[in-house]
Amino acid sequence: MEKRVILVTGGTGLVGKGIETALESCKEEGEEWIFLSSKDADLSSESSTMALFEKYKPTHVIHLAAIVGGLFANMKANCDFFRLNMKMNTNILEMAQKFNVKKVVSCMSTCIFPDKTTYPIDETMLHNGPPHSSNYGYSYAKRMIDVLNRSYKEQYNCDFTSIIPCNVFGPHDNFNIQNGHVVPGLINKVVEAQKNGTPFEIWGTGSPLRQFIYSIDLGKLIIWVLREYKEVDPIILASDQEVSIKDVAFMIKDAAEFQGEVKFLTDKADGQFKKTASNDKLKCYLPQFQFTPLETAIKESVTWYKENYATARR
Q: Alpha-carbon distance 266 to 7, whole Å?
A: 43
Q: Alpha-carbon distance 144 to 89, whole Å?
A: 9
Whether residue 114 is preceded by a cis peptide bond, meaning omega within 30 degrees of 0, is no
List all residues 6 or more positions away from 231 whose beta carbon is below 8 Å from its beta carbon.
161
Question: 244: how many CB neighbours lie within 10 A of its CB?
Answer: 15
- Name the residue type at position 124: T
Q: Alpha-carbon distance 193 to 112, whole Å?
A: 32
Residues involved in catalysis: 138
- The three-state DSSP-derived secondary structure of 163-208 is EEECEEECCCCECCCCCCCHHHHHHHHHHHHHHHCCCEEEECCCCC
Sign of the CA dihedral running 303, 308, 310, 313? negative
| DSSP 8-state class, residue 292 | P
Query: What are the backbone angles phi and psi of residue 253, rounded to the nearest 5°?
Result: -55, -45
- Hey, which residues does 164 pair with through a beta bridge? 236
Q: Alpha-carbon distance 10 to 295, whole Å?
A: 27
Q: Alpha-carbon distance 309 to 314, whole Å?
A: 9
3-state secondary structure of 279: coil
Contact assessment for residue 172 and residue 17, using Cβ atoms and an 8 Å cutoff: yes
Which H or E element spans position 156? helix 136-156
